[in-house]
Structures are given as C-alpha cells and as structure tokens.
C-alpha cells in the first residue's frame, strides 16, 4: 500500500525501535534491564487513583468531555502556575488540556507551520519536534546543543534567511537527554528573539519538578513579554508517575493556544473527564509527592554517576530530568555501544544519535529502574572490557 508522502519524511520513532529490540531479547530469555525509556517505574499516587475510581463511577462523566479540558483541570493548572512560578494564567483562554504533552507538541506544529517553513529545534532533542515538523512539510533547522555552548542553543549563528522563514522555536529545559537546566536569563533572550522576529517560542517543561543540587527550574512564562509569544508544554506523566493516563497541558500566549485548540477540535474529542479530575487532584495535592520522587531520582543519579566514574566513562552531571548523557568509549559509535551492551549484558540504553546528529557518540541512561536494579546493571557492565 502506498503511504502519504508526508510519512516518507518520518523515520521510525526511536522508542518503537528500542521496544522492538527489548521484545526480541525477552523472547530469547534475556533478563533485560531497561535503562532506555523514560517511563517512571513507580505507581501513580493513591490519592490520584482514588479520585479516578470515584469519578469513573459517575455517569455524568461518561459523555464527551469539553474540548479544551474541564474547568476544574484548567483552574488547577492556573493555580499550579501561580504557586510554582508566580505566573498568572487565565484558565479560560491561556490553557488547553492535552492527551499527554506529546500530542500537543506535535499538534502545535500542524497549527503554525506551512510547507517549507523552518522550525528551530534543538539537536539533540526529544524527537517529536523534528518529526512533527517533517510531517507538516516544514523543515527542521537544528540548533546544536554541545558541551561548548553549555547545551543551550546559540541564536547568533542562525542565518537571517532561516530566521525570516521560521515559525516556531522549540526548546526543552530541564533537558532530555542532556540533563541541562536553563535559567531565566536564557528564557528572556529567547523571548526577546521571538518577539523581534515574530516567531512563537515553545518550552517543553515536562521535567520541571526534577532538578538537583539546589537548582530550581523556572518557566519560560516568567520572562518579560513571554505571554505575547511563548507557549509552555507540561506533562503529568513524569511528576506524578502518570505516563499511562495520557494527560498534559499547554499554557501561554492566547493566540497560539487558540490555534492549537482549533487544530485539536478537528482531530480529537478531548480527554476522559475522569482522567482530568484525577489530574486535577495530582496538580492540587501533588507537590509533596513530586518532591519525594525528586529525592528518589537524586539517589539513583548519584549512584549511577559514581558507577560511571568507576568505569572511566565521561558524562554530563545532570542538573535536571532523570537521564545521564554519557560519552561512548572511543572505539564505539552510539549504535555499536548500545547493541554491544544489550547483547553482552542485557542492559538497554538509548543511542544518542536517535536524538539528532549532535547526539552521535553518546548514549542516554534513564534512571527509571529501582536502585538495586540500577546497581545490577552496572555490575554487569563492569564485567566488560572496553
Ligand atoms: C522532553 C519530553 N517531552 C514530552 C514528553 C512526552 O510526555 P507525555 O507523556 O506527556 O506525552 C517526553 C516523554 O518522554 C519527554 O521526554
């Protein structure tokens, strides 16, 4: 069967490939330790599950949900933004609920990007920014994130012609995969740049609650003028262990939010209201829970960093998110090191080149397995010589 041309532009999704490799290894009886995918291993908190159970029994929530999200959820988002970032958000016009942040991230490209427009996207990156651009017929222009630039894009090297034809600038801090956290000065530079060039600037803040060593992640919406041009994407997946529930949201500039809503209204019919009410509970009551999760990841991060040092592998100390960006030993590529680890130890990691060409030479280790299992993974890796 012939597929639409736009699908030809999209390579297989990285994690679908990783999942297939895991299935193959499991079928061969390998005891796989999965450090490849950023899917929290701990359960959703009871108070969220309990809210879901009561809401699911209420027939009033069995009909179509509201397109933008129920007012309880949007109000909880607005309160969270005030409490956490000091930012005022109008729940009527500046928030939209999403079927997981991935859905909204992909759809904003469809709402704003035409054929042959540029989008400014990081490299390495969470792959959706580039894939969604490709599906719209736009052209992703990679902004390298390197050790030299502190894993923050250098706006001064983007050609004027590219800037002139760009519709969206997308960043993601705390960053997957490098673990970098941006500060408010950086966001201010992005917002000033976006206002000057009439570009919508988006930050993917899925890991806002996971920062270490005294660092606190700001919101791009704290920058002056941000509400005139910026959109921030948020996820409940990571902060409250809710990856399977599919709930997130976008907040920010009302014009961009209304275009995203229009796109969605024509494609999906909202999120089950019971899930939104459970999400409301998570946002209203989950601050302490997220803090506990942060300390769990910090312990794992510290253990993994110690083990990596002992192995003599070079890595970036992650100040945020729950990944470690590790340089592969000199005789390997991202792919050969990843394959060798799976074959010889049953440990799955994500190859850095899957995040963009500037990810070549790296792997990403996800801290989403229990402490003992993490140690076991390193015990196995220690048996290798490289
Ligand atoms: C940077 C980043 N943004 C967004 C997402 C998607 O999260 P959600 O489950 O809300 O779709 C992920 C998932 O791993 C991610 O790493």
- Please name which of 182, 193, 118, 197 lies closest in space to residue 149, comparing C-alpha atoms: 182
pTM over 0.75: yes
Read off the pLDDT of residues 185-236 as tens digits, 9 standing for 90 and up: 999 999 999 999 999 999 999 999 999 999 999 999 999 999 999 999 999 9
Read off the pLDDT of residues 321-341 as tens digits, 9 standing for 90 and up: 999 999 999 999 999 999 999
Pairing of strands 166-171, 200-204: parallel
Cis geometry, peptide bond prior to residue 269 (ω within 30 degrees of 0): no
DSSP string, 272-290: -HHHHHHHHHHHHH-HHHH
**Contact present, 211 and 167 (Cβ < 8 Å):** no
- Please name which of 338, 318, 319 lies closest in space to residue 328, comparing C-alpha atoms: 338
Read off the pLDDT of residues 285-323 as tens digits, 9 standing for 90 and up: 999 999 999 999 999 999 999 999 999 999 999 999 999
Q: How far apart are CA 69 and CA 250, in angstroms?
A: 11
| Residue 93 tokens, joined | 């016009």
Q: What per-residue confidence (pLDDT) applies to 22? A: 86
Read off the pLDDT of residues 360-382 as tens digits, 9 standing for 90 and up: 999 999 999 999 999 999 999 99
**Contact present, 356 and 316 (Cβ < 8 Å):** no
Report the nearest atom of ligand 1 relative to the CA of 248. 10
Candidate from 44, 99, 103, 126 with most ligand 1 atoms within 8 A of CB, to mutate:
126
Report the nearest atom of ligand 1 relative to the CA of 246. 9
Candidate from 15, 36, 101 with most ligand 1 atoms within 8 A of CB, to mutate:
101
Report the nearest atom of ligand 1 relative to the CA of 243. 9
Is any ligand 1 atom within 6 A of the Cβ of residue 178? no
> Closest Cα to atom 6, ligand 1: which residue?
102
Domains of the chain, first to last? 5-43+288-382 (3.90.1150.10), 63-285 (3.40.640.10)
């Amino acid at each position: 069967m012939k597929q639409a041309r736009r699908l030809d532009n999209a390579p297989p999704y990285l994690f679908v490939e990783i999942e297939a490799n895991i299935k193959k290894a499991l079928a061969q009886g390998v005891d796989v330790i999965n450090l490849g995918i950023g899917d929290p291993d701990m359960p959703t908190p009871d108070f969220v599950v309990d809210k879901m159970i009561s809401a699911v029994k209420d027939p009033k929530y069995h009909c179509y949900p509201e397109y933008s999200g129920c007012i309880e959820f949007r109000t909880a988002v607005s309160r969270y933004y005030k409490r956490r970032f000091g930012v005022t958000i109008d729940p009527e016009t500046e928030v939209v609920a999403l079927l997981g942040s991935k859905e909204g991230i992909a759809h904003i490209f469809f709402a704003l990007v035409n054929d042959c427009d540029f989008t400014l996207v990081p490299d390495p990156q969470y792959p959706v920014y580039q894939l969604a651009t490709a599906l719209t017929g736009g052209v992703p222009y990679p902004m390298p994130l390197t050790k030299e630039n502190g894993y923050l894009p250098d706006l001064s090297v983007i050609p004027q012609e590219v800037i002139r034809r760009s519709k969206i600038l997308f960043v993601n801090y705390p960053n997957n995969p490098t673990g970098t956290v941006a500060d408010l000065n950086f966001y201010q530079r992005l917002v000033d740049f976006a206002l000057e060039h009439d570009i919508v600037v988006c930050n993917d803040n899925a890991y806002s609650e996971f920062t270490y060593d005294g660092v606190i992640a700001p919101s791009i919406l704290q920058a002056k003028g941000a509400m005139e041009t910026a959109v921030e994407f948020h996820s409940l997946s990571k902060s409250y262990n809710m990856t399977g529930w599919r709930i997130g949201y976008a907040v920010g500039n009302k014009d961009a939010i209304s275009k995203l809503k229009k796109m969605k209204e024509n494609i999906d019919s909202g999120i089950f209201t019971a899930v939104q009410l459970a999400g409301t509970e998570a946002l209203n009551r989950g601050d302490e829970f997220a803090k506990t999760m942060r300390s769990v990841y910090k312990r794992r991060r510290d253990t993994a960093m110690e083990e990596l040092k002992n192995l003599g592998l070079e890595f970036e100390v992650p100040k945020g998110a729950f990944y470690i960006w590790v340089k592969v030993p000199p005789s390997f590529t991202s792919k050969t090191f990843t394959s060798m680890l799976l074959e010889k130890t049953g440990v799955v990691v994500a190859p850095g080149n899957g995040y963009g060409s500037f990810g070549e030479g790296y792997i990403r280790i996800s801290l989403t397995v229990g402490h003992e299992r993490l140690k076991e993974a390193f015990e196995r890796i220690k048996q290798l010589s490289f």
